[in-house]
């Protein structure tokens, strides 16, 4: 298979996307993954600043770009995402799920 079209694993579902976001965000913010729940608000609950969110976007683009060629998160859209759950739904939509 050509590298541009390979898929390293099965397509991600909601739980899979949440797991990816949870892992990266917990690492970036140096918090326990259990704190990263769908209803958690990035700023108010997780104390994520704009730099942390940019790091999250970069990590997601890198990891998910390996699964879906051209996966990206628009900067304008990032400002609209307030909760982990909104981020999960956004990523699923971008993945075509």
- Residue 74 is among the residues annotated as catalytic for this protein: no
- Domain ranges across the chain: 11-95
Average pLDDT, the chain: 87
Residue 33 per-residue DSSP state: G
Rounded to whole angstroms, how far apart are CA atoms 74 and 25? 18
Three-point CA angle 10, 13, 16, nearest 5°: 85
Catalytic annotation, pick one of 49, 74, 75, 77: 49
Kindly report the CATH number that applies to the domain delimited by 11-95: 1.10.1200.10
Global pTM value? 0.84
Pick the range with the lowest mean pLDDT from 6-15, 36-45, 80-89.
6-15
Q: What is the pLDDT of residue 1?
A: 38
Instruction: Write the secondary structure of 75-93 as one string of H (helix), E (strand) and C (coil).
Output: HHHHCCCCEHHHHHHHHHH
């Amino acid at each position: 298979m050509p590298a541009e079209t390979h898929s390293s694993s099965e397509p991600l579902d909601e739980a899979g996307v949440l797991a990816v976001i949870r892992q990266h965000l917990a690492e970036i913010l140096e918090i326990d993954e259990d704190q990263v729940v769908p209803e958690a608000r990035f700023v108010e609950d997780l104390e994520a600043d704009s730099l942390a969110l940019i790091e999250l976007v970069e990590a997601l683009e890198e990891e998910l770009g390996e699964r879906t060629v051209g996966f990206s998160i628009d900067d304008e859209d990032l400002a609209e995402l307030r909760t982990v759950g909104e981020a999960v739904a956004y990523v699923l939509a971008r993945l075509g799920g």
